[in-house]
Structure 1
């Protein structure tokens, strides 16, 4: 963006009553990589990001998919917000009516200073039981295996088994 374009963007933003900042993959791409440096991982190699949430993939190998998400979560924990995340927070600090909507599942907007972005695709840090959709605990920071059992709510586990098997 050139100087005059940036000045015009600033003028338009200052004149807005309720601006909305909408972000997607480009905002966090350079910072929130899923890789685990120095160690190949079966989950990361076997699951492409676009197919990770596919219901067929989840049903076929839930531990592999959950391991993939856990590896991504750990990569994001190591990442730092970039100047874009901080700029969005600065806009919201100056114009408190600014809405922030993101497609990203990382927590980099929050760590960059945005208190409560609206998340279109959920959060890596708020897993839910795949059977009942209740919040499920995050795993501890133990060494990362290639795959993990997905999170579950202990209250629904027997019910979910009986629904699937018909028993």
Structure 2
């Protein structure tokens, strides 16, 4: 049975999405010939230890990535998945991408395995402040690492480290 016939008779559809999906929108991947980890060392930019050691450097790198993502548009793949969601009673996207492009395209039922770079978290795991409040604080602070208005701890990008 070919893919089209399977989709025509499907009730539930789950799509796994990764870096290749957003590469077509101009988002650099981490691995591969032109991957970010060929230019940067992950242990210097994408770990809690690096953030504690040099929060300004890590924050600026994530600001650069956020700016790059803000300039990107969902591509045909993102838009096709958002359209597919309208036709299946049970449709979900599970993605490794942190760029928010699936949501920008209109996908609603999404699981972000590696988090979302546009969201923020307090590094104090006992702090209960909402990410919406932190997002406003980050917008106010710009390229300076923000502090949590509730507990004073540093605010970090909402991605997996």
Into which bin does the TM-score normalised by the smaller protein fall? Answer: 0.7 to 0.9
Is the CA contact 2:43–2:50 (under 8 Å) kept in the aligned structure 1? no
Among candidates 19, 22, 26, match of residue 25 of structure 1: 19
Q: How does 1:26-41 map to 2 (within 5 A)?
A: 26-33=20-27
Is the CA contact 2:96–2:112 (under 8 Å) kept in the aligned structure 1? yes
Deviations 1:124-166 (A, max 9, x none): 1111122346421232596xxxxx4433312111xx59xxxxx
Structure with max Cα Rg: 1
Distance verdict in 2 for CA 1:156–1:107, change over 3 Å: same
Is the CA contact 1:47–1:65 (under 8 Å) kept in the aligned structure 2? no
Please state if 1:150 is matched with 2:145.
Answer: yes
Unaligned runs of 5+ in 1: 1-6, 35-45, 143-147, 162-167
Which SS does the other structure have where 2:115 is aligned? coil
- Counterpart of 1:42? none
Q: Which has the higher strand share?
A: 2
Which SS does the other structure have where 1:19 is aligned? strand
Deviations 1:38-72 (A, max 9, x none): xxxxxxxx844686321221121111111111111
- Taking structure 2 as the reference length, the TM-score comes to 0.73
Please state if 1:114 is matched with 2:107.
Answer: yes
- Counterpart of 2:63? 70
Is the CA contact 1:103–1:119 (under 8 Å) kept in the aligned structure 2? yes
Unaligned runs of 5+ in 2: 29-38, 155-161
More divergent stretch after superposition (98-107 vs 12-21): 12-21
Is the CA contact 1:130–1:151 (under 8 Å) kept in the aligned structure 2? no
The alignment yields a C-alpha RMSD, in angstroms, of: 2.8
Is the CA contact 1:32–1:106 (under 8 Å) kept in the aligned structure 2? no
